Structure 1
C-alpha cells in the first residue's frame, strides 16, 4: 500500500468477490506489470459500460461498498467513475501505486469540453501507465504506457498511441479512417476520489450530460466493439469501419443479454422498456 494508506478504499473491497466477477483464473497477485495487464484486461472484458441508473434518475454512489454491491455482487455495469473506482480499489488492494486524473473527452468533435472523464495512472517500477476501464467501447483493454509518447501500442487487433501537448497534457489517440483521432486529453494534476464525486454529480444529473435521458450501454471485445446509444446499435471493427442499425423495443432485452452480458432485474427491465418505448 502507498504511504497515504488506502486512498481508493482498497481495504474495504472484497477482493475475492471482485476476482470472481472478472473471471480471474488464478495466479499470484503481485504489484507487477503482468498482473496489472491481466487484471485490467479481465475487468474490461467482464464488466459492461452502462449508465442506466442515470437514465432511471437514480443517484450513482461512488463509495467503494456501493460500487462493489452494484458492479460485483449485483453483476451490473457502470460508467467511468464507478468502473475506475472499483479498478483503483482492487489495484490498491493488490499493492499498486494508483493516482487519478481528470480527462476532457475529445471523441465527439473539436470543441473544448469540460473535464468529465475519470482515468487512472498506475506506477509500476517507476514507470507510469494509463489504466482506464471506463471509456466504454473505444477505450483500451490493457494499460497504455505513458513514458514513451508517440509510440504505437498494439492490443490484439486494436492500436493506441499517446501524444504529448503543451504543459504536460497527454492525449490518448486511435487510428480511424487513415488518421489518428483523439479520444481524450488529461493533465498531470492528480485527482482524488472526492474530485470524482463532483464530476459524477454533473455527469449523472446535469441536463447537458451525455448520459442523462438516453440509453448508453457499451462493450469492448477482441474482434469488435459495441455501443447502444439511444436506439442505435453501432459495431466498430478494427479497421475503423462502423456498422449501425436501429434496435426495436422488442429486441432490446435479449440484445442486452446476448451482446453486452447485461441481465437486468424485472423491475429495471420493465422500467427500461417503458422509457425506450416512450421514445417512439
Structure 2
C-alpha cells in the first residue's frame, strides 16, 4: 500500500493525522467520486483476482474501477494503513425475484469504529444504491444522503440496509418503461452480521460471480460512477446520466443507447477508464435496476 498514490488517485490532499469521522467521510466520498463500480474485466476476457497488490495496480495505478470484492477490499487496506479500527464483513444482497436475501455473502463491506461508535462504510455498490458517506450503525435512524434516505435496521440475528428513494423522471420517452428504471419507493439492499471475514471467505464467491451463467455480472457489463449531482452509468449499450433533485422530489434520468464504436470514448471521457483489452458489452435480461 502506498497511501500517497491512493490519495492522488482520489484527489485527497488533506492531513490524516486525526483518525476522525470527518476524515473518514471525506475519503469515502472522494473514493466513490473517483473510482467506478465496474465489472468490465469479465467482459474483456480478464480474471478478477482478490489479491491486494493486483487490485492496487489495477485500480490505483491503471485508473480502473472494480466491483465490491475489489474496491471495498482495497478500502479496508487503506483504512488499516491509516490506522483506523476496521473489520471486513460479508453481506447478502437482496434478490427481488426471490423477495429475500441471497444465501451467500456476495458483497463485502467494512465496519469502522471511531471513539467507540461503529459505522458501516461501503464504497462499491454503485448507481443509486451507493452511500456517499459512512452510515452510523444505529437501528431505525433515517440517514439522509444525496441518493435518498438510508436506514439500518437491527432484526435481531441480522442487520438490514434499506433506502427510500425519490420518484424517477425519465426524460427520454423511449426509456419510460425500461427495466433498468427502479420504480420502488423503498428498497432493501443487503443484510449482514458482525461476524468478521477475511478475504478467503469471498474466494469461491469471487469465482462464481464471474463464471456462473446465471450471475448478474456475466449477463451485464456495468460501469457506474458517482458525480457531485448524481451518477452516470453504462449498462451494456445504455448510457445513463442521473441528476438528483431532492427539492423537486425526483431523480432525473437521461438515458440513451450508444454504438460499439462509442463505447471506448464514453468509458474514457465519462469514467476515466482505459481498457487494455477489447470490451464485449452485454445487457441480457436479468433483474437489475439503477
Q: Which residue of 2 aligns with 1:221?
A: 227
Unaligned runs of 5+ in 2: 168-183, 245-249, 285-290
1:89 Cα deviation from its structure 2 partner: 0.3
Q: Which has the higher strand share?
A: 2
Which of the numbers 257, 262, 270 marks the counterpart of 1:251?
262
Q: Is the 8 A contact 2:95 2:101 kept in 1?
A: no
Q: Is the 8 A contact 2:10 2:34 kept in 1?
A: yes
Q: Which residue of 2 aligns with 1:131?
A: 121
What is the rounded CA distance, in whole Å, between the counterparts of 1:204 and 1:29 in structure 2?
Answer: 39
Q: Is the 8 A contact 2:89 2:196 kept in 1?
A: yes
- After TM superposition, the structure 1 = structure 2 runs for residues 133-212 of structure 1, keeping only pairs within 5 Å, are 133-137=123-127, 138-146=129-137, 148-156=138-146, 158-177=148-167, 179-212=185-218
1:57 corresponds to 2:45? yes
**In terms of mean alpha carbon deviation, does 59-68 or 188-197 score higher?**
188-197
What is the rounded CA distance, in whole Å, between the counterparts of 1:277 and 1:175 in structure 2?
Answer: 27
Q: Which residue of 1 aligns with 2:102?
A: 113
What is the rounded CA distance, in whole Å, between the counterparts of 1:25 and 1:97 in structure 2?
Answer: 22
**In terms of mean alpha carbon deviation, does 192-201 or 125-134 score higher?**
192-201
Unaligned runs of 5+ in 1: 1-12
Q: Is the 8 A contact 1:249 1:277 kept in 2?
A: no
1:208 Cα deviation from its structure 2 partner: 1.6
Q: Residue 184 of structure 1 aligns to a residue in which SS? A: strand
Summarize deviations over 1:235-259 as a string: whole Å, max 9, x none.
Answer: 3342245443222222212211222
Distance 1:16 1:278, change over 3 A: closer
Taking structure 1 as the reference length, what is the TM-score of the superposition? Answer: 0.84
Tell me how large the CA RMSD over aligned residues is.
2.3
Taking structure 2 as the reference length, what is the TM-score of the superposition? Answer: 0.82
